[in-house]
């Protein structure tokens, strides 16, 4: 297939996939609102594919306003009775919908998928495996990189092996705690206080707790285990919270890294779910932020190293702590928040690529592979 731009008169059909079964369902819907509103309609036709909380794959209205973020009424994919039908083999790009009354209607061919799912059952390689199975190009990383990026424990293992500095951590399961609570506690105590407790496979700071007393560790672990069977206990790192966006290079070129953004906390102790999405006064996203020239080069070098070590494609956001002794990688996001005011698009806008152009670039990268 020709990449976008090689056949100027040919329109491209994009299946925008959003919603999903994870606790980040609403965030995915909000991201979809941004993409649906900004995608270049002169070049792309859109099929909105919404996945409900129960995993029903539906055809949704092409209406960005339906999925806008509203702290008082969070958006979601409602089951309207339709079922979106993927191509039945890798030999076809034909898609259709089974309407609520059971009739089947052809939707034509789809050229590329844009899966903007966050969290498990979407960002973790599952939807990527489905798309690989039916031979449909898609935006973003493949199965392995998506799975690695979603699992904070194994991402740290890979990055540490690649020589990338990461925060010290231990990983604990409920079974390990039940079998030998004293040993599990001793492993955590080796990190010192305070620590952050996180689900291994969740995003948007869901299930994250800052622990200042060991008496609170078990309750924090149980909050994290409610999201995932593994929990990370991480040493708290003192430093500025710096983030940047990464894009694949064209034609196999080197990854491209944006200017840095910074999260500046105002009213909350750390950048939790409420600060990100519900409390507009909790934090300020500063992009671009001021860092020294040498720090900028080192951040961009490390971000590209993270991207390549995990095996990412398309896009990623790399989150750092900038400490007195240098950068420490906090997390990698293979499908970062993508609303117009999210850090990933803001960093690229500061670097010269606007939101609509960024969407086009990602689609072109997917079709180039």
Say what the pLDDT of residue 202 is: 77
Count the helix, strand and coil residues of the chain and give each as a percent rounded to the nearest 5. Answer: 30, 25, 40
Say what the pLDDT of residue 73 is: 79
Say what the pLDDT of residue 335 is: 94
Q: Please tell me the distance from the alpha carbon of residue 225 to that of residue 50, in angstroms, as a whole number.
A: 27
**Which of 60-64, 266-270, 297-301 shows the lowest mean pLDDT across its residues?**
266-270
Q: In what order do the strands lie in the sheet with 57-59?
A: 57-59, 44-51, 12-19, 112-115
- φ, ψ (nearest 5 deg) of residue 264: -115, 110
Say what the pLDDT of residue 270 is: 53
pTM: 0.90
Q: Is the pLDDT of residue 157 over 90?
A: yes
Most confident region among 160-164, 197-201, 274-278, 340-344 by mean pLDDT: 160-164
Q: Would you place residue 242 in the very low, low, confident or very high pLDDT band (cuts 50, 70, 90)?
A: very high
Say what the pLDDT of residue 5 is: 41
Q: Is the pLDDT of residue 23 over 90?
A: no
Q: Would you place residue 163 in the very low, low, confident or very high pLDDT band (cuts 50, 70, 90)?
A: very high
Domain ranges in the chain are: 12-138, 149-166+238-368, 169-235
CATH of domain 149-166+238-368: 3.30.470.20
Tens digit of pLDDT for each residue in 111-124?
999 999 998 899 99
Q: Please tell me the distance from the alpha carbon of residue 122 to that of residue 93, in angstroms, as a whole number.
A: 21
Tokens 């860092």 appear where?
Answer: 291
Assigned token pair, 82 = 């339709």
Say what the pLDDT of residue 7 is: 45
| Residues labelled catalytic | 24, 204, 277, 317, 319, 331, 333, 337
Nearest CA-CA partner of 263 in 320, 315, 194, 208 = 320
Q: Would you place residue 142 in the very low, low, confident or very high pLDDT band (cuts 50, 70, 90)?
A: very high
| Close Cβ partners of 289 (under 8 Å, ≥ 6 residues apart) | 242, 260, 261, 262
Q: Please tell me the distance from the alpha carbon of residue 85 to that of residue 106, in angstroms, as a whole number.
A: 9
Say what the pLDDT of residue 267 is: 58
Q: Is the pLDDT of residue 78 over 90?
A: yes
Q: Would you place residue 6 in the very low, low, confident or very high pLDDT band (cuts 50, 70, 90)?
A: very low
| Close Cβ partners of 101 (under 8 Å, ≥ 6 residues apart) | none
Q: Would you place residue 69 in the very low, low, confident or very high pLDDT band (cuts 50, 70, 90)?
A: confident
Quick one: how far is CA 93 from the chain centroid?
26
Q: Quick check: 283 and 275 in contact, CB under 8 A?
A: yes
CATH number for 169-235: choose from 3.40.50.620, 2.60.260.20, 3.30.1490.20, 3.40.50.720.
3.30.1490.20
pLDDT, mean of residues 61-90: 92
Q: State whether the Cα torsion 35-335-302-193 is positive or negative.
A: positive
Q: State whether the Cα torsion 66-67-70-71 is positive or negative.
A: positive
Tens digit of pLDDT for each residue in 39-59?
999 999 999 999 999 999 999
Q: Please tell me the distance from the alpha carbon of residue 287 to that of residue 295, in angstroms, as a whole number.
A: 16
pLDDT, mean of residues 30-34: 94
Q: Between the CA of residue 29 and those of 22, 40, 175, what are the distances in Å? A: 12, 19, 34
Q: Quick check: 235 and 317 in contact, CB under 8 A?
A: no
Helices (H), 16-151: 25-38, 126-133, 143-150
Q: Would you place residue 274 in the very low, low, confident or very high pLDDT band (cuts 50, 70, 90)?
A: low
β-bridge pairing 195-199 and 112-115: unpaired
| Close Cβ partners of 43 (under 8 Å, ≥ 6 residues apart) | 4, 11, 12, 360
**Which of 75-79, 264-268, 290-294, 306-310 shows the lowest mean pLDDT across its residues?**
264-268
Could you tell me if residue 60 is left (phi over 0), alpha (psi between -120 and 50 degrees) or otherwise beta? beta
- Residue 176 has a CB neighbour count (10 Å cut-off) of 16
CATH number for 12-138: choose from 3.40.50.1820, 3.30.70.890, 3.20.20.70, 3.40.50.20.
3.40.50.20
- φ, ψ (nearest 5 deg) of residue 367: -80, -20
Q: Quick check: 225 and 209 in contact, CB under 8 A?
A: no
Say what the pLDDT of residue 3 is: 40
HSE at residue 302, side-chain half, CA atoms within 13 A, is 28
β-bridge pairing 12-19 and 44-51: parallel
């Amino acid at each position: 297939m020709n990449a976008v731009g090689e056949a100027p008169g040919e329109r491209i059909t994009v299946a925008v996939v959003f919603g999903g079964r994870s606790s980040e369902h609403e965030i995915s819907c909000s991201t979809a609102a941004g993409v649906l509103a900004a995608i270049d309609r002169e070049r792309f036709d859109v099929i909105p594919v919404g996945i409900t909380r129960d995993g029903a794959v539906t055809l949704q209205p092409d209406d960005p306003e339906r999925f806008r973020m509203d702290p008082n009424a969070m958006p979601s994919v409602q089951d309207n009775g339709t079922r979106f039908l993927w191509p039945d083999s890798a030999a076809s790009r034909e898609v259709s919908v089974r309407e609520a009354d059971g009739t089947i209607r052809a939707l034509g061919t789809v050229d590329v998928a844009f899966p903007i799912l966050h969290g498990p059952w979407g960002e973790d390689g599952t939807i990527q495996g489905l798309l690989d199975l039916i031979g449909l190009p898609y935006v973003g990383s493949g199965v392995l990189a998506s799975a690695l990026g979603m699992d904070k424990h194994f991402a740290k293992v890979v990055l540490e092996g690649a020589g990338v500095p990461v925060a010290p951590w231990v990983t604990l399961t409920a079974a390990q705690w039940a079998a030998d609570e004293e040993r599990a506690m001793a492993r955590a105590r080796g990190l010192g206080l305070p620590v952050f407790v996180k689900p291994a496979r969740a995003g948007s700071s869901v299930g994250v707790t800052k622990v200042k007393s060991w008496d609170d560790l078990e309750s924090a672990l149980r909050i994290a285990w409610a999201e995932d069977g593994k929990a990370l206990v991480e040493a708290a790192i003192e430093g500025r919270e710096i983030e940047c966006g990464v894009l694949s290079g064209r034609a196999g070129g080197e990854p491209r890294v944006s200017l840095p953004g910074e999260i500046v906390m105002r009213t909350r102790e750390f950048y939790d779910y409420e600060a990100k999405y519900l409390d507009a006064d909790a934090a300020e996203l500063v992009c671009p932020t001021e860092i020294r020239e040498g720090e900028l080069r080192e951040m961009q070098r490390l971000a590209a190293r993270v991207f390549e070590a995990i095996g990412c494609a398309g896009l990623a956001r790399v989150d750092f702590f900038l400490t007195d002794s240098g950068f420490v990688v906090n997390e990698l996001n293979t499908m970062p928040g993508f609303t117009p005011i999210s850090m990933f698009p803001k960093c690229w806008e500061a670097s010269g690529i606007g939101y609509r152009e960024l969407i086009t670039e990602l689609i072109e990268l997917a079709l180039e592979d």
